[in-house]
């Protein structure tokens, strides 16, 4: 019997955003197909790779603090239902800041106002607790003890597994970019796939990460800015445990714009530069680490983790952020096709928010918006500029 090709909703893109949107729509009773060109959280997707930080601190942007706290709960509930509790690691998250650093001060204030545990640490506290890190004499810290790490690609696979278990359909296929000619008047009737199927649906969600500009070149080609990101895992000296989850939290070194994680699953110390790299094409960019990024990561490690000076790099990953102009997400209706929704712009910080994005987008697609999911102007297409000025991290 041929597979059905009509659905209430077709979701294109099985990264963390599309997977959660599809999941929540199916959970609400819609018939849903989820499609991806390469597979859920594949090696080229922004949601691929082993690990992503889930932290609550967002400076004064308390909308993301609230969304992150809500998302953490939903991630943990999913992992409990699917018997995969190990996919969240409560490592704690430590912000290391220069004196009076506004982002850290505002994060602490916002977390305290929302009742989220967050501890202020002095230089003495930092040095006493984390002797394996070299702190400046005036550094201070904010520790989020409940936050930690999501094991990224497996977490997304788990969302898709539950979506399928709930009766959703996952298909691996590339979807052709819909042209305005395909939209009959103001409604998109169908999409075409690489395996030559035509899928009709009442609504379409495009959650295509760094590919958004390729799928909608006129609309998003100059509004989504994919940028290269390189990740390193440094091998630890034999027998040394002081970099494991019991001894070192996940950390963000604000002055240096580097962040990283303790030794999870014996991969070594994860180290990454949060600055935006070169503009890239997610299909074709080289996934081999560059000498400049290797040198910068080695120099950072030598400065901040002196006992690892000269440690071997045992694993690398190259990925891309899918930035909007300022870092706010894009979750809005297509301006010319009223049954088409755009969900993206994770901007290097979106992973943790997957469950909140799914809940918000599913409510809007279904037309069942509540006080919690009321339209947020910051996610609108209208706020997405064509020049970059990053303000949300
Ligand atoms: C190196 C790195 C570190 C990061 N660190 C963190 C972190 O610590 N914490 C955090 O919260 N966030 C972090 N982020 C950001 C976060 O990972 C992303 O914001 C998030 O994963 C974006 O998910 P997405 O679903 O929008 O995109 P993707 O995961 O890229 O998914 C988009 C999917 O759409 C599919 N697709 C595109 N076009 C088509 C088509 N035509 N047909 C079919 N399928 C298509 C693609 O194959 C892809 O699978 C990081 C990102 C990177 C790259």
Whose C-alpha lies nearest to ligand 1, atom 15? 348
pLDDT of residue 4: 74
Q: How far does the centroid of ligand 1 lie from the alpha carbon of residue 330, in Å?
A: 13
Whose C-alpha lies nearest to ligand 1, atom 41? 175
Q: How far does the centroid of ligand 1 lie from the alpha carbon of residue 307, in Å?
A: 34
Give Cα 5 distance to the centre of its chain.
30
C-alpha–C-alpha distance, residues 361 and 328, integer Å: 15
- Of ligand 1's listed atoms, the one at least distance from the Cα of 149 is 8
- Of ligand 1's listed atoms, the one at least distance from the Cα of 16 is 25
Length of the chain (residues):
393
pLDDT of residue 182: 73
pLDDT of residue 75: 98
Residue carrying structure tokens 């001060």? 105
Q: What global pTM score does this model have?
A: 0.97
Looking at the domain covering 1-90+150-224+324-393, what would its CATH class be? Answer: alpha beta
Domain ranges of the chain: 1-90+150-224+324-393
pLDDT of residue 3: 65
- Of ligand 1's listed atoms, the one at least distance from the Cα of 347 is 19
Residues with CB under 6 A from ligand 1: 12-18, 35-38, 42, 45-47, 52-53, 174-175, 207-211, 215, 229, 231, 319-322, 344, 346, 348-352
Which of 347, 348, 379, when mutated, tests ligand 1's pocket best, judged by the most ligand atoms within 8 Å of its CB? 348
For 215-225, letters b (16+ CB in 10 Å) and e give bbeebbeebbb
Q: How far does the centroid of ligand 1 lie from the alpha carbon of residue 48, in Å?
A: 7
Q: How far does the centroid of ligand 1 lie from the alpha carbon of residue 45, in Å?
A: 5
- 3-class DSSP state for residue 72? helix
- Of ligand 1's listed atoms, the one at least distance from the Cα of 177 is 41
Contact 361, 341 (CB under 8 A): yes
Q: How far does the centroid of ligand 1 lie from the alpha carbon of residue 150, in Å?
A: 14
Whose C-alpha lies nearest to ligand 1, atom 12? 349
DSSP helix, strand, coil percent of the chain (3-state; round to 5): 30, 25, 40
- Of ligand 1's listed atoms, the one at least distance from the Cα of 48 is 29
pLDDT of residue 393: 83
C-alpha–C-alpha distance, residues 270 and 151, integer Å: 13
pLDDT of residue 2: 57
Question: Residue 266 to residues 150, 236, 245, 262: CA-CA distances in angstroms?
Answer: 16, 9, 10, 9
CA 377, 383, 389, 393 dihedral sign is positive
Q: How far does the centroid of ligand 1 lie from the alpha carbon of residue 128, in Å?
A: 37
Contact 242, 257 (CB under 8 A): no
Q: How far does the centroid of ligand 1 lie from the alpha carbon of residue 195, in Å?
A: 23
Residue 267's nearest CA partner among 142, 40, 89, 144 is: 89
Which of 37, 151, 209, when mutated, tests ligand 1's pocket best, judged by the most ligand atoms within 8 Å of its CB? 209
Per-residue pLDDT of the chain (393 residues; tens, 9 = 90+): 456 799 999 999 999 999 999 999 999 999 999 999 999 999 999 999 999 999 999 999 999 999 999 999 999 999 999 999 999 999 999 999 999 999 999 999 999 999 999 999 999 999 999 999 999 999 999 999 999 999 999 999 999 999 999 999 999 999 999 987 677 668 999 999 998 999 999 999 999 999 999 999 999 999 999 999 999 999 999 999 999 999 999 999 999 999 999 999 999 999 999 999 999 999 999 999 999 999 999 999 999 999 999 999 999 999 999 999 999 999 999 999 999 999 999 999 999 999 999 999 999 999 999 999 999 999 999 999 888 888 888
């Amino acid at each position: 019997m041929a597979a059905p090709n009509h659905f209430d909703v077709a979701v294109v893109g099985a990264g963390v955003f599309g997977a959660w949107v599809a999941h929540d729509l199916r959970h609400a009773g819609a018939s849903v197909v989820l499609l991806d060109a390469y597979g859920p959280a594949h090696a080229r997707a922004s949601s691929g790779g082993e690990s992503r930080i889930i932290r609550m601190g967002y400076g004064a942007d308390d909308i993301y603090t609230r969304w992150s706290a809500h998302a953490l709960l939903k991630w943990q509930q999913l992992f409990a239902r699917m018997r995969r509790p190990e996919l969240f690691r409560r490592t704690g998250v430590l912000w290391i800041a220069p004196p009076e650093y506004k982002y850290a001060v505002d994060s602490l204030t916002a977390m305290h106002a929302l009742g989220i545990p967050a501890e202020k640490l002095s230089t003495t506290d930092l040095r006493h607790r984390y002797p394996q890190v070299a702190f400046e004499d005036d550094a201070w810290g904010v520790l989020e003890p409940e936050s930690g790490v999501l094991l990224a690609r497996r977490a997304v696979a788990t969302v898709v597994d539950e979506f399928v278990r709930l009766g959703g359909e996952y298909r691996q296929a590339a979807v052709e970019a819909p042209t305005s000619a395909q939209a009959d008047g103001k409604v998109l009737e169908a999409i075409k796939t690489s395996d030559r199927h035509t899928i009709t649906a009442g609504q379409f969600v495009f959650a295509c990460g760094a590919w958004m500009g390729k799928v909608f070149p006129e609309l998003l080609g100059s509004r989504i800015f994919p940028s290269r990101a390189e990740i390193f895992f440094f091998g630890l000296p034999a027998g040394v445990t002081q970099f494991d989850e019991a001894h070192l939290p996940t950390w963000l070194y604000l002055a240096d714009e580097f962040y990283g994680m303790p030794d999870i699953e014996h991969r070594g110390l994860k180290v990454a530069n949060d600055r935006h790299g070169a503009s890239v094409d997610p299909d074709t960019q080289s996934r081999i680490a560059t000498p400049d990024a290797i040198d910068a990561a080695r120099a950072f490690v030598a400065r901040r983790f002196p006992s690892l000076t000269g440690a071997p790099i045992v694993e690398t990953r190259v990925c891309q952020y899918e930035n909007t102009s300022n870092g706010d997400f894009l979750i809005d209706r297509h301006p010319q096709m009223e049954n088409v929704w755009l969900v993206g712009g994770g901007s290097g910080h979106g992973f943790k928010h997957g469950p909140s994005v799914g809940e918000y987008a599913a409510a809007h697609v279904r037309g069942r918006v509540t006080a919690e999911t009321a339209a947020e102007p910051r996610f609108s297409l209208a706020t997405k500029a064509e020049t970059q000025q990053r303000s949300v991290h």
